[in-house]
Structure formats: C-alpha cells, structure tokens
Structure 1
C-alpha cells in the first residue's frame, strides 16, 4: 500500500468540493427552469392515489329564537257580593261546607246565602213597585191576577174557541184509524164523539182489519183501502186532520182528550192559512199584545247603552201593539 501523501488528501478534498458545486449548480438550474411555479409553500400537496378530498358539508343555519309570548291579562275580578261574584264563588263555599263541615265553614256559607237572598228580596220589592206604577209593563193587563178577572177572560176565550173551531169544522175533517182489538182506540173514540158533538167536526173511522171495535159492533166505519199506508200510520189510535182535496196533517198517534184535539186542530188550521193570527189570538185566555218578531233589529247601539232610551224604545213598541190589538 502506498502511503497517503498530502497531495492525495488535497486531491480528494478538491473532488468532493467540486462534486458539491456541480450538485448545487444542478439544483440552481432546476430552480431557474421551474421558477414560474412559485415558492414551494404555494404548491398544492399531491393527492394520494385512489383518494378524493372530502367535500365540505353545508352548515345548517341556526333557527331563530321564538318570540316571547306575552301572557294574556287576567280578567278583572268581580266586585265582592255582586251577582257575578256569587255565580263564580258561592258553590265553592257550599262545597267546602259539605266536604269539611266545620262550624266556621257552614256559618260562612249561611252568611253568604243571607246576603244573596237579601239582594234578591230587594230586587223583588223594586220590581213590584215598578209594575204597580208603570202599567205598560204590568202583566195584569194581559192576564188579570184576580180570580174574577181571570175567570171572565177564560169564559171569553172559550166562547171564541168554540166559534172558531165550529167555523174550522166546515172546512176540515177528522180521520180516525183503528183496529177492532185496539183497547186504546175504544177510549179514543169517546173523545172524538165529544169533538163531533161540541164542535161539529165530521169524524171518519177507518178500520185497518175491516171490522168494528169489539165493544162497538154497531159503529159506523169504512175499511182501509191503502189510506193508512199512504198517510204514514205507524201506531194506533192514529188521528189526522184532512183538508180536501188532498191535504192532511197528523194530529196524534195516541189517546188525546177532546180539548187537546181541538187545540191541535186550531194550530193546524193557522199553519194551513185557514185562520189568521188575530183570530187565533182570540181563542187564548190572555190578551195577545206581543212585540213584533222583527222588533229591535234596526236599533242603534246607543239606545242599548242608555237605560232610559232603552225603556222608552220598548214602551213605544208595546203601546203600538196594544193599539193594533184593540182595533
């Protein structure tokens, strides 16, 4: 082996230095060739094979907070011992007295009842004063409170009812559907006989089985020939008001008295237009001075808000009705 000389060492160092210079120069050339790509920290990182970058998920907007709802104002408390206060509270005191009947609870309920009854008594006293002094609102004008006065009005109404019913009997007949073995039909025939004798209605008995009532073998009747089915007879006895040539109205499907029958006949006659309202009113044991059914529909709200105006408004209508009745 040859000894390493100083010249050899210098040669080796020179070669290493040259090699570094060449490598550095190569790197520098590469930089200048690719300098348009910018600095390394602006370079995008290469994607891994087979992988795709995750897409950013949209962020849901935060819901807006619900507006604060204001609680409705509590209704005003009624004045103690007013009618509304008693309506809302008296039952509470009564229930408490029943569920827990201590001396204090029961006494409190009795005391409240006393206050309520005293208020009602005061109202009743003033009511009596008003109707005695203000004849427009005194019901005695329509129906006398005395026995003699009411008896006289009853007699007048009965006479008018008899007269009107007899006039109706000239235009309206009565059909009586029965069956021979119907015991209720036998009872009903008595009332129908009174209707014929007192008010002169013509009654036509119609037998569903073609035979007379068992207890009345000699009664006059006609056999049913489909009329019962046509007129809708469902039970017996069944009575109809018949107005020639083709009108009929069911009066009853059970036993009715003579008075009930004549009253229903008058109502049916009014409904069918055979008698008018004043004629019908004359058969009632009360003076028919009623306000109109359309009364008050065009009334101004200001009238309702003023007690005196309201009273005068109603008084005027009552007097108008009385004048119309007296004509």
Structure 2
C-alpha cells in the first residue's frame, strides 16, 4: 500500500513539473511558420498572403528643349479656340448679346486675314518668282494675246516635227453633218502644219475635202470608234495609235492635244492599238 501511494505521489510531482516546464500553447498568428506553430502538424499548409503592390510612380516627362511654341502660334490657337467657343455659344443660346459677341470677333479675324492678303500681294508684286500673273496663262488681255501667239508658234513647230513620222487618222461617215463641218478644219490643218490626214470612211462614202477616202478594213472596230468624227494620232512604222478626240475640234484644240500627247512618256500614253498600219491601201 505504501508503494502504491509513493508511485502516485511521484506521478503527481512529474505532472506538476511538466506543467511548470511547458507553457500553455498560444494561438499562432497566420503568418507564423511551421517551426513556431508545430502543434498544427507537418501536414498543415497555408498560402502566404499576397503582398500589396505599390502603384508605380508616374515618370516625369523630360522637358524637351527648343520645342516651345512661338508666341504668334500660341496667340493664333487662343484666337481660334475663342472664336469656336463663341460661335458654339451663339448657336446653342442665340441671344442678341451672344450673337453680337461672335460677329465682332469674326470681323476681327476677317480683318486680320485681309491684312495678310494685302501684304502677300505686295510681296508678290516685288518678287517675280512669286507673282502668279507671270506664270502660266496671263490674265491681261494684251499679254494673253502674246501668250496665245507664242503657244501657237511653238505647238505648230512641234507638230511639224511630229509630221515626219506621224499621221492623223480621220474617221467619218458620209451622212454625218458634224463630219462635214469638221473636214475643212482638218484640210486647213494639214496644209498649215504639214501633217498628213488619212481619211477613213466608216460607211464607204466620201465628203468634200476627202472625196476618195480609204475604206474601213476593221480598224475602226479595233480602235473602238463608236462615234464620228474621230481623230487618232498614228505612227505607221511602229503601229502605235492614240486617240486625239471625238467630235468637232478647233485647230487650237488639235494643236494642244497633239502636243500634250506627244510630250508624254511612252508608259503614260493612253491605250493604243499596235496593229501594223499600211498607208498604201488603194481607195475604193
């Protein structure tokens, strides 16, 4: 009995000693590791909390040197913005005050533009290279007469050179009144500039000035001649043909179109037929 009591006393002492040596477990924090919270067991796992990302600080844009707007540009932009805003206000709320404010501002802008136009005109008068009246077709009647005469002589010389290896095909019908009206212009053109006119009758008949034309052998269909009178520029030894125009044309129009066409590069020429051309077909 004494032995049992002694063992019981010894067990109580050991238990008390253990309670003194082992402190009460404290609830672990969520971020504690396994080693500081071993009572959870080695199978326990928690995802670590995601760290809050700090938004990146805005980068300061480098100041660009030398890009400052001229004061005139800034003033123009302010005026343009003010004019637009004033107009919009007047449109949405068209009171007498708003409309008057817009009209006064618009008058200022018009006056400024008029001043610019006057200065630009004076600069053009003093600078020949900037004067539009000295380039291209003049507006003065006397100068225009000289210009047209010079153009006529230059174009006539070019056609005379072109006549060395080119001819004009004239497609017509004997019952076409426009063909009859156009024929004298072509005969005079041939006499004045030396280029040969090859008359081709679509219906086989003749007209004054071209009483013995060549019969259409299918070339009219090849060139898609659906309307007469029609004039084509042809180079017989190469077989190249390009349209000059349809309908009644004046001599000046013929000169202008022939010169324009001959001045173009080969790749820029209009569609052409390349069928060999014979100028020795016997007339009917």
TM range (shorter): 0.5 to 0.7
Deviation at 1:116, TM superposition (A): 2.5
Question: Larger Cα Rg: Structure 1 or Structure 2?
Answer: 1
Structure 2 residue aligned with 1:85? 80
Measure the CA separation in 1 of the matches of 2:142 and 2:199.
41
Deviation at 1:250, TM superposition (A): 0.9
More helix by share: 1
Q: 1:201 aligns with which of 192, 195, 206?
A: 195
* TM-score, normalisation: structure 1: 0.49
Aligned length: 196
Residue pair 1:81, 1:116 contacting (<8 A) in 2 also: no
Deviation at 1:127, TM superposition (A): 1.0
* TM-score, normalisation: structure 2: 0.55
Change (3 A) 1:186 1:146: closer
Structure 2 residue aligned with 1:240? 232
Structure 2 residue aligned with 1:53? none
Structure 1 residue aligned with 2:183? 189
Structure 1 segments of 4+ aligned residues over 6 angstroms from their partners: none
Change (3 A) 1:96 1:183: farther
Q: 2:108 aligns with which of 115, 125, 129?
A: 115
Residue pair 2:233, 2:241 contacting (<8 A) in 1 also: yes
Measure the CA separation in 1 of the matches of 2:112 and 2:179.
55
Change (3 A) 1:135 1:261: closer
Alignment RMSD: 3.9
Structure scoring higher RCO (CA < 8 A, sep ≥ 6) equals 1
Deviation at 1:201, TM superposition (A): 2.1
* 1:101-180 pair list within 5 angstroms: 103-104=96-97, 106-139=99-132, 141-142=134-135, 147-180=141-174
Change (3 A) 1:148 1:119: same
Change (3 A) 1:218 1:190: closer
Change (3 A) 1:147 1:209: closer
Measure the CA separation in 2 of the matches of 1:142 and 1:251.
27
